[in-house]
Amino acid sequence: MTSQTKERGTALDKEERVKLIQMSLDGINFLRTLHFRNTEFPAWMNRVTELLEKAYGKDSAEYRRFINAPGKSFIVRTDTGMTEEYLRKLDCYETALKSLIYEG
């Protein structure tokens, strides 16, 4: 946790962060069952970014790690290509969230 987060008075303790991050991870499993054109993914993304902003701060390395997790992509504009890209992004977000749980 950064001192900046402490100063704003919005800090979550580690146990709370882990619980909320785990719930976000559970959401990824649900998202994998959906078509790439769904309304749940943007809503999930908003919830998770708000959680991470509250837990770590928008300027934190943890927040940036999650936001930048998918990196750049090259999408083949077919349903198969879009599905593969959607699943790849979910995998990247999952890895980033897991790293937040397992780091010191």
Residue 2 maps to a domain: no
* pLDDT, tens only, 80-103: 999 999 999 999 999 999 999 987
Residue 6 maps to a domain: no
Residue 1 maps to a domain: no
Residue 64 maps to a domain: yes
pLDDT at 11: 62
Average pLDDT over residues 2-25: 70
Is the pLDDT confidence value at 3 over 70? no
With contact defined as beta carbons under 8 Å apart, do 90 and 73 qualify? Answer: no
User: Could you tell me the sign of the dihedral formed by the alpha carbons of 102, 39, 68, 2, in that order?
Assistant: negative
Rounded Cα distance, 56 and 62, in Å: 7
Q: Which residue has the tokens 């599905």?
A: 83
Residue 33 maps to a domain: yes
* pLDDT, tens only, 18-59: 999 999 999 999 999 999 999 999 999 999 999 999 999 999
pTM for the structure as a whole: 0.83
Q: Structural domain tally of the chain?
A: 1
Is the pLDDT confidence value at 1 over 80? no
Average pLDDT over residues 70-82: 86
Print the domain residue range for 53: 11-102
What are the helix and strand counts (H, E) for the chain?
5, 0
Other C-beta atoms within 10 Å of 14: how many?
11
Residue 71 maps to a domain: yes
Rounded Cα distance, 71 and 82, in Å: 16
Residue 3 maps to a domain: no
